[in-house]
Structure 1
Amino acid sequence: MKYKILFLLYVIVLGCNPQKAKRRIIPVEKNIQLEKSVLDISVVAKGLNVPWEITWGPDNKIWITEQHGEISKLDPETGEKHRILEIKEVWKDRTTGLLGMAIHPNVKENPYVFVDYTVKNNGKIFSKLVRYTIQRDTLIKPTTLLIIPGSTGHNGSRLAISPNGKLLWATGDAQKGGNAQNEKSLNGKILRINIDGTVPENNPIQGSYVWAKGFRNMQGLVFSKRGFLYTSEHGDALEDEVNLIVKGGNYGWPNIEGIHDIEEEKEYALKNNTIEPLLSWTPTIAPSGITYYGHKTIPEWENSLLLATLKARSLHVLKLNDDGTKILSDNIFLENEYGRLRSVCVSPEGDIYVSTSNRDWNPYSKPIEADDRILKISKAARVTSDKVLKGKLASENKTIENIDQLYSVYCGGCHKDDGSGVEGTFPALKGSSLVQGSKESLIKVFLKGKKTENKAEQMPSFKFLNDDEGAAILTYIRKNWGNKAEPIQASEIKGLR
Structure 2
Amino acid sequence: MKRIAVPLLLVLCVAIAAIFYFLRPKGRQLPVEATLMLKSSSLGITTVATGLHVPWEICWGPDNQIWFTEQRGTISKIDPVTGKKKLLLLEPEVYLKRTLGILGMAIHPTAPFVFVDYTTRRPDSSVISRLVRYTYTADTLKDPLVMLEVPGATGHNGSRVAISPDGKVIWSTGDATRGANAPDTASPNGKVLRLNIDGSIPADNPYPGNPLWSRGHRNIQGLAYTDKGHLFASEHGDAMDDEVNYIRKGGFYGWPGIEGYADRDDEKRYADTFPFIHPAKAWTPTIAPAGITYYHAAAIPEWQNTLLLGTLKTASLRVLQLNAAQDSIIGETTYLTGIYGRLRAICVSPAGDVYMATSNRDWNPGKGFPIAEDDRILRLSPIARTADPVKPLGPDTLTVSLSKGQALYKSYCEACHKADGKGVEGSFPALDGNKIVNGKPQALVAVILKGKSGTLKSGEQMPAFSFLSDADVTSITNYIRNSWGNQVYEISFEDVERFRKKIK
Q: TM-score, normalised by structure 1?
A: 0.92
Equivalent pair of 2:77/2:85 in contact (CA under 8 Å): yes
Equivalent pair of 2:365/2:418 in contact (CA under 8 Å): no
Equivalent pair of 2:322/2:328 in contact (CA under 8 Å): yes
Whole-angstrom distance in 2 between the partners of 1:425 and 1:272: 35
Structure 1, residues 319-367: CA drift from partner, whole Å, max 9, x if none? 1111111111111111010001100000001000000001114433441
* Aligned-residue offset at 1:135: 1.9
Whole-angstrom distance in 1 between the partners of 2:269 and 2:360: 41
Write the mapping of 1:253-332 to structure 2, written as runs, cut at 5 A: 253-332=255-334
Whole-angstrom distance in 2 between the partners of 1:360 and 1:97: 11
Whole-angstrom distance in 2 between the partners of 1:463 and 1:46: 42
Equivalent pair of 1:311/1:364 in contact (CA under 8 Å): no
The amino acid that maps onto 1:53 is E
The amino acid that maps onto 2:119 is T
Q: Do the aligned partners of residues 252 and 394 (structure 1) sit closer, same or farther apart at CA in structure 2, a change above 3 Å counting?
A: farther
Q: Do the aligned partners of residues 362 and 186 (structure 1) sit closer, same or farther apart at CA in structure 2, a change above 3 Å counting?
A: farther
Aligned twin of 2:7 = none
Aligned twin of 1:156 = 158
Aligned twin of 1:8 = none
Equivalent pair of 2:337/2:396 in contact (CA under 8 Å): no
* Aligned-residue offset at 1:265: 1.1
Equivalent pair of 2:25/2:81 in contact (CA under 8 Å): no
Aligned twin of 1:94 = 98
The amino acid that maps onto 1:105 is P
Whole-angstrom distance in 2 between the partners of 1:441 and 1:22: 58
Whole-angstrom distance in 2 between the partners of 1:313 and 1:440: 33
> Tell me, which stretches of 5 or more residues in structure 2 are unaligned?
1-22
The amino acid that maps onto 1:29 is E
Q: Do the aligned partners of residues 362 and 173 (structure 1) sit closer, same or farther apart at CA in structure 2, a change above 3 Å counting?
A: farther
* Aligned-residue offset at 1:24: 8.5
Whole-angstrom distance in 1 between the partners of 2:135 and 2:87: 16
Aligned twin of 2:19 = none
Write the mapping of 1:62-77 to structure 2, written as runs, cut at 5 A: 62-77=66-81
* Matching of residue 465 in structure 1 with residue 468 in structure 2: yes
* Aligned-residue offset at 1:430: 0.5
* Aligned-residue offset at 1:20: 8.7
Q: Do the aligned partners of residues 461 and 400 (structure 1) sit closer, same or farther apart at CA in structure 2, a change above 3 Å counting?
A: farther
How many residues are paired up? 474
Aligned twin of 2:459 = 456
* Aligned-residue offset at 1:25: 3.2
Aligned twin of 2:252 = 250
Structure 1, residues 229-282: CA drift from partner, whole Å, max 9, x if none? 000000111110000001000001011111110122112212221111011111
The amino acid that maps onto 1:92 is L
Whole-angstrom distance in 2 between the partners of 1:208 and 1:194: 12
The amino acid that maps onto 1:302 is Q
* Aligned-residue offset at 1:409: 1.3
Equivalent pair of 1:314/1:333 in contact (CA under 8 Å): yes
Whole-angstrom distance in 1 between the partners of 2:382 and 2:233: 27
Equivalent pair of 1:214/1:253 in contact (CA under 8 Å): yes
Equivalent pair of 2:311/2:343 in contact (CA under 8 Å): yes
Whole-angstrom distance in 2 between the partners of 1:22 and 1:162: 28
Aligned twin of 1:483 = 486
Whole-angstrom distance in 2 between the partners of 1:147 and 1:115: 12
Structure 1, residues 109-168: CA drift from partner, whole Å, max 9, x if none? x11000001111121111010001112221111111001111111001100000001110
Aligned twin of 2:169 = 167
* Matching of residue 51 in structure 1 with residue 63 in structure 2: no
Q: Do the aligned partners of residues 28 and 421 (structure 1) sit closer, same or farther apart at CA in structure 2, a change above 3 Å counting?
A: same
Give SS of 1:407's match.
Answer: helix
Structure 1, residues 68-125: CA drift from partner, whole Å, max 9, x if none? 111101111111111111111111011111110000011xxx1100000111112111
Aligned twin of 1:121 = 122
Q: Do the aligned partners of residues 166 and 21 (structure 1) sit closer, same or farther apart at CA in structure 2, a change above 3 Å counting?
A: closer
The amino acid that maps onto 2:69 is T
Write the mapping of 1:130-209 to structure 2, written as runs, cut at 5 A: 130-209=132-211
* Aligned-residue offset at 1:382: 1.7
Percentage of identical aligned residues: 52
Aligned twin of 1:390 = 394
The amino acid that maps onto 1:482 is G
Aligned twin of 1:428 = 430
Q: TM-score, normalised by structure 2?
A: 0.91
Equivalent pair of 1:400/1:406 in contact (CA under 8 Å): no
Q: Do the aligned partners of residues 361 and 33 (structure 1) sit closer, same or farther apart at CA in structure 2, a change above 3 Å counting?
A: closer
* Aligned-residue offset at 1:458: 1.1
Aligned twin of 1:407 = 409
* Aligned-residue offset at 1:318: 0.4
Aligned twin of 2:9 = none
How large is the Cα RMSD of the aligned pairs? 1.9
* Aligned-residue offset at 1:452: 4.0
Q: Do the aligned partners of residues 486 and 466 (structure 1) sit closer, same or farther apart at CA in structure 2, a change above 3 Å counting?
A: same
Give SS of 1:392's match.
Answer: coil
Equivalent pair of 1:24/1:78 in contact (CA under 8 Å): no
The amino acid that maps onto 1:121 is R
Aligned twin of 2:365 = 363
Whole-angstrom distance in 1 between the partners of 2:25 and 2:332: 41
Whole-angstrom distance in 2 between the partners of 1:171 and 1:221: 11
Equivalent pair of 1:211/1:249 in contact (CA under 8 Å): yes
Whole-angstrom distance in 1 between the partners of 2:397 and 2:255: 28
Equivalent pair of 2:162/2:170 in contact (CA under 8 Å): yes
Whole-angstrom distance in 1 between the partners of 2:419 and 2:224: 33
Give SS of 1:342's match.
Answer: strand
Whole-angstrom distance in 2 between the partners of 1:61 and 1:297: 19
Give SS of 1:475's match.
Answer: helix
* Aligned-residue offset at 1:405: 2.7
Give SS of 2:133's match.
Answer: strand
Aligned twin of 2:343 = 341
- Name the stretch that deviates more: 19-28 or 95-104: 19-28
* Aligned-residue offset at 1:494: 1.5
Selected match of 2:496 from 476, 493, 496: 493
Whole-angstrom distance in 2 between the partners of 1:430 and 1:93: 25
The amino acid that maps onto 2:496 is I
Whole-angstrom distance in 1 between the partners of 2:224 and 2:24: 33
The amino acid that maps onto 1:263 is D
Whole-angstrom distance in 2 between the partners of 1:24 and 1:388: 17
Structure 1, residues 413-452: CA drift from partner, whole Å, max 9, x if none? 0100110100111110101111111011111111111224
* Aligned-residue offset at 1:394: 9.4
Whole-angstrom distance in 2 between the partners of 1:406 and 1:221: 30
